[in-house]
A and B are shown apart, each in its own frame.
Chain A
Amino acid sequence: MYAIVFREELAPKIKLFKIEAPEVARKARPGQFIILRIDEEGERIPLTIADYDTNVGTITIIFQEVGKTTELLGELREGDSILDFVGPLGCPSEIENFGTVVCVGGGVGVAPVYPIARALKEAGNRVISIIGARTRDMLIWENEMRQISSELHVATDDGTAGRKGFVTDVLTDVLAREKVHKVVAIGPVVMMHAVSRVTPKEIPVTVSLNPIMVDGTGMCGACRVEVGDATRFACVDGPEFDGHQVNWELVLQRSRMFVEEERLAMQSFHRKGGCKCQK
């Protein structure tokens, strides 16, 4: 069992947990993820490692409640435990001194961008961060990001915080005025796709894909993605790939594999009165 030692609501439906997992904390690197299963009946779901503390032995995860497992998770309190927690999975981010790197985080994707941006900064890069959300309330970790960035820009769809518009609007401006050596983007698929589109081909774009997974160890192939015409398993070959080469249409298509089942699971879950967010 893995104990939840800290819990915080960052925004409506976005929560931060610190989970006691000392062995994982010792090995975790930016860009990697964990897979958890809440209980015996639970599904295995992947979540990115948002931070780790080797001394205390904790892993920080930040998740958005989008379906039955994340909602169930959101109901857990400090002191509760999770049955299974495995990691660190996937390949760590490539961290070296590239020069100037733009780190783009959208929605809950700000969380996984954070440790990468921090490591890039520590490696000597000039880190320009751009974070965005639909609206001010949904914006997470603005202060944390400001502390580890050379420069921070904020964008919200409705203009309630920072600039009104999308993170790609800010990115386009930055690319126009600066010599950028690399872009890192994590967020909704449409956002990562848009970032890859507005970034010229000469500038590498690293994106972190989040396909449906089961084992996370390369055993099932559920996480197949196409990158540069080759099929790759995101859990072991990724989750980071070159955004210029990703087949984005396929990423979207495969994320809809179980839409009907996901709806069914939510219905039966709400019928049981399992979710306290329903009136």
Chain B
Amino acid sequence: MSEVRRKIIPTKHPMPHQDAKERCHNFNEVALGYDEDTAVAEAQRCIQCKNSPCMEGCPVEINIPAFIKKITERDFAGAISIIKEKNNLPAICGRVCPQENQCEKKCTVGKKHEPVAIGRLERFVADWEMAHGSRSVKKAKPNGKKVAIVGSGPSGLTAAADLALMGYKVTVFEALHMPGGVLVYGIPEFRLPKSIVAREIASIVELGVEIKTNYVVGKLGRVDELLQEGYDAVYIGTGAGLPSFMNIPGENLNGVYSANEFLTRNNLMKAYRFPEYLTPIRVGKRVAVIGGGNVAMDAARTALRLGAESYIVYRRSFEEMPARREEIEHAREEGVHFEILTSPVEIKGNEEGRVTSMVCQRYELGEPDESGRRSPIPIKGSEYEMQVDTVIMAIGQGPNPLIQQTTPNLKTNKRGNIVVDDTTGQTSIPGVFAGGDIVTGAATVILAMGAGKRAARAIHEYIQSKG
């Protein structure tokens, strides 16, 4: 008997959104999530491929067909436990993973139609679990060994959770007053609600992981001191937090922020609720955000929500923008303006030192450069002035330098990233491992998590081999 072939619905079930006209005035989450019936219907689009190519696209190797099958059976608890075998932060990945370049890119259905909405389904089951509060914590039996994790971003948290599940006593040291790294200070509330990050972190703490905030490793204990104090291994996941500036005239005027400062004031310090929260932010009437990545989109959409007219100024074209398509679309719907093929050459201010305008230059695209993208070439004589009162630099971040400066013999490359063995995350110092943005440069949440997972395995092997 041959099975009746279901006809595949060619497009993903659309994600319900907060209306663009409304959401540009609030910080509530933009994407609202599937309901149960939509999730089941979307799950039914999966054809359960034997070789499951989607899994190759997932850096943490979630058993995607298996969890999707559970959704079709309405066994949502079963679905989440399959995901959690590999991913401790599903509610976060389901929201911010660039799925279109990862799992969904490899999906068989995606060859002819739109791929299965794997990310949205992952988010659905993670949210379902939170709403139904039926988390079962299997605490591992302590094995008497201790591991220190430096930095509580997705990379450090993942390594911490995996090691705790193997029985290690794990302590995470975090410089800021709140754990989460970029998830709390960088990515805005409207894309990733902080309550969700807090819930995911709470579930890692339930595994027995201790998180010490307000602890700057290198200023308090150094990495070598942690090893001397009895930690059997150290994992460094300190991220790419050092903001870059352009080195153009006027960059230190009042009204020029790094994206990190602008976003940290808003997200970590909740300046959008000033003066109830005491940290101020000044946004002005017209804001230019320089850059075309996720960070730039987040800054531009935040400025918009704070009441400003918001411009993205990017020196290449839409094609080359590194931000996720979805984020660019959302920004456009909300009314962010785009000045493409444009870059500032000078920022001008008044006698009080406040920004009043920005001199920009137009660009055209030349031959592809080493990144494979067509390189921008300035057009002579194309300078013009743009009236703005705030400029936000979102042109990239370098590695946080503190650990490298205070850890002798730790090998770094010329950019300052820590050099590691790709498969284990082992650094030049025995017992010291590293991963995430501090190694790769600014990348993605899921790659940082993947590095944390690999390092957890390698740390386990390392400690066992020492006996």
A interface residue numbers (CB < 8 A to B): 23-24, 27, 37, 41-44, 68-69, 83-89, 214-215, 217-222, 224, 226, 231, 236, 250, 253-254, 256-258, 260-262, 264-265, 268-269
Does B243 lie within 8 Å of A86, measured CB to CB?
Answer: no
- Asked if B323 CB lies within 8 Å of chain A CBs, one says no
Does B278 lie within 8 Å of A219, measured CB to CB?
Answer: no
Contact bitstring B249-289, A, C-beta under 8 A = 1, else 0:
00111110110110011000110001111111110000000
* Residues of chain B contacted by A87 (CB below 8 angstroms): 216, 219
- Asked if B213 CB lies within 8 Å of chain A CBs, one says yes
* Residues of chain A contacted by B402 (CB below 8 angstroms): 217-218, 236
Closest beta carbon of chain B to A169's beta carbon, Å: 30
| Docked complex Cα distance between A261 and B280 (Å) | 6
Does A254 lie within 8 Å of B252, measured CB to CB?
Answer: yes
Does A265 lie within 8 Å of B280, measured CB to CB?
Answer: yes
| Docked complex Cα distance between A142 and B270 (Å) | 41
Q: Contacts A86-B175, A86-B177, A265-B274 given: A254-B254 contact, CB under 8 Å?
A: yes
* Residues of chain A contacted by B215 (CB below 8 angstroms): 23, 86
- Asked if B214 CB lies within 8 Å of chain A CBs, one says yes
Closest beta carbon of chain B to A59's beta carbon, Å: 13
Q: Which of B214, B281, B400 touches A86 (beta carbons < 8 Å)?
A: B214
**Main SS at interface, chain B:** loop
Does B278 lie within 8 Å of A253, measured CB to CB?
Answer: no
| Docked complex Cα distance between A269 and B276 (Å) | 9
5 A-B contacts, Cβ less than 8 Å apart?
A37-B177, A44-B269, A85-B214, A89-B216, A261-B275
| Docked complex Cα distance between A15 and B144 (Å) | 46
| Docked complex Cα distance between A220 and B264 (Å) | 8
Does B275 lie within 8 Å of A268, measured CB to CB?
Answer: yes
| Docked complex Cα distance between A224 and B265 (Å) | 16
| CB closest chain-B residue, reference A45 | B278
| Docked complex Cα distance between A261 and B245 (Å) | 25
**Main SS at interface, chain A:** mixed
Closest beta carbon of chain A to B218's beta carbon, Å: 9
* Residues of chain A contacted by B278 (CB below 8 angstroms): 41-43, 68-69, 265
Q: Which of B253, B258, B269 touches A43 (beta carbons < 8 Å)?
A: B269
Does A217 lie within 8 Å of B282, measured CB to CB?
Answer: no
* Residues of chain A contacted by B213 (CB below 8 angstroms): 84
Does B214 lie within 8 Å of A84, measured CB to CB?
Answer: yes
* Residues of chain B contacted by A68 (CB below 8 angstroms): 278
* Residues of chain B contacted by A220 (CB below 8 angstroms): 243, 258, 260-261, 264
Does B243 lie within 8 Å of A23, measured CB to CB?
Answer: no
Does B275 lie within 8 Å of A253, measured CB to CB?
Answer: no
Q: Please provide the 4 A-B residue pairs with the shortest distance between their CB atoms, ordered closest to farther.
A: A261-B280, A253-B353, A220-B261, A86-B214
Q: Contacts A85-B214, A87-B219 given: A221-B260 contact, CB under 8 Å?
A: yes
| Docked complex Cα distance between A155 and B213 (Å) | 43
Does A257 lie within 8 Å of B220, measured CB to CB?
Answer: no
| CB closest chain-A residue, reference B258 | A221
Does A258 lie within 8 Å of B280, measured CB to CB?
Answer: yes
- Asked if B401 CB lies within 8 Å of chain A CBs, one says yes
| Docked complex Cα distance between A222 and B255 (Å) | 11
| CB closest chain-B residue, reference A267 | B275
Q: Contacts A215-B264, A257-B282 given: A221-B176 contact, CB under 8 Å?
A: no
Q: Which of A24, A44, A260, A268 touches B279 (beta carbons < 8 Å)?
A: A44
| CB closest chain-B residue, reference A252 | B353
* Residues of chain A contacted by B401 (CB below 8 angstroms): 218, 236
Apart from A69-B278, A218-B401, 18 more pairs, CB < 8 Å: A27-B220, A41-B270, A43-B278, A84-B177, A89-B216, A214-B261, A217-B241, A219-B241, A219-B243, A219-B260, A220-B258, A231-B245, A250-B252, A253-B253, A253-B353, A256-B254, A256-B353, A258-B280
| Docked complex Cα distance between A222 and B253 (Å) | 11
| CB closest chain-A residue, reference B218 | A217
- Asked if B242 CB lies within 8 Å of chain A CBs, one says yes
| Docked complex Cα distance between A123 and B352 (Å) | 44
Q: Contacts A218-B401, A220-B260 given: A265-B254 contact, CB under 8 Å?
A: no
Best-surrounded residue of B177, B245, B274 (most CB of chain A within 10 A): B177
* Residues of chain B contacted by A264 (CB below 8 angstroms): 274-275, 280
Q: Which of B219, B241, B280 touches A262 (beta carbons < 8 Å)?
A: B280
